[in-house]
């Protein structure tokens, strides 16, 4: 079985379907590229996938260590370049919620796991990944 399918709906909109779960996501072209901007753009999804991957990998590591990071969140800023049009930079502000105070080395372990997530390692090296962690209780 293939991972997913995408159908072009017209008017610069596409519908993505995850085959195993049947969950769907609609994408639109952004307003700065002839679109309506009524949904995630494909490049928004790339930047957001990076954040989701980082949280997931940290979640796996935290679960293994019996640390609770539920409620952690990421604010994402995607910066585009032109000629050719591409993602130039992804800025991630990661707000880590932890039920217990972690030692510096434990925080470093989670941060390293995040920076080495599969999406981070799959992005072109020319894309700047600016990641800032904020540790909160």
Look up residue 117 and give its two tokens: 């997530």
Residues shown for the chain: 137
| 3-class DSSP state of 30 | coil
Range of the domain at 18: 4-33
**pLDDT band at residue 4 under the 50/70/90 scheme:** very high
Mean per-residue pLDDT of the chain: 96
Domain match, 17 and 60 both: no
Instruction: Give the model's pLDDT for residue 37.
Output: 94
**pLDDT band at residue 52 under the 50/70/90 scheme:** very high
- What would the pLDDT profile of 104-119 be if each residue is shown by its tens digit? 999 999 999 999 999 9
Report how far residue 5's alpha carbon sits from residue 100's, in angstroms, rounded to the nearest whole number: 42
- Residue 130: enclosing H or E segment and its boundaries? strand 128-136
Number of domains in the chain: 2
Domain match, 119 and 88 both: yes
Domain match, 60 and 22 both: no
Domain match, 125 and 70 both: yes
Domain match, 130 and 106 both: yes
Domain match, 81 and 129 both: yes
Instruction: Give the model's pLDDT for residue 94.
Output: 98
Question: Does residue 95 carry a pLDDT above 80?
Answer: yes
Report how far residue 8's alpha carbon sits from residue 132's, in angstroms, rounded to the nearest whole number: 36
Q: Say which CATH number the domain at 62 has.
A: 3.30.300.20
């Amino acid at each position: 079985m293939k991972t997913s399918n995408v159908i072009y709906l017209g008017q610069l909109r596409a519908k993505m379907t995850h085959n195993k779960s049947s969950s769907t996501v609609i994408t639109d072209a952004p307003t700065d590229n002839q679109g309506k901007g009524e949904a995630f753009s494909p490049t928004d999804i790339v930047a957001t996938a990076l954040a989701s991957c980082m949280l997931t990998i940290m979640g796996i590591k935290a679960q293994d260590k019996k640390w609770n990071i539920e409620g952690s969140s990421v604010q994402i800023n995607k910066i585009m370049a032109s000629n050719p049009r591409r993602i130039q930079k992804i800025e991630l502000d990661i707000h880590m919620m932890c039920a217990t105070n972690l030692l510096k080395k434990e925080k470093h372990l989670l941060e390293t796991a995040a920076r080495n997530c599969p999406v981070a390692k799959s992005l072109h090296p020319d894309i700047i990944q600016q990641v800032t962690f904020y540790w909160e209780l």
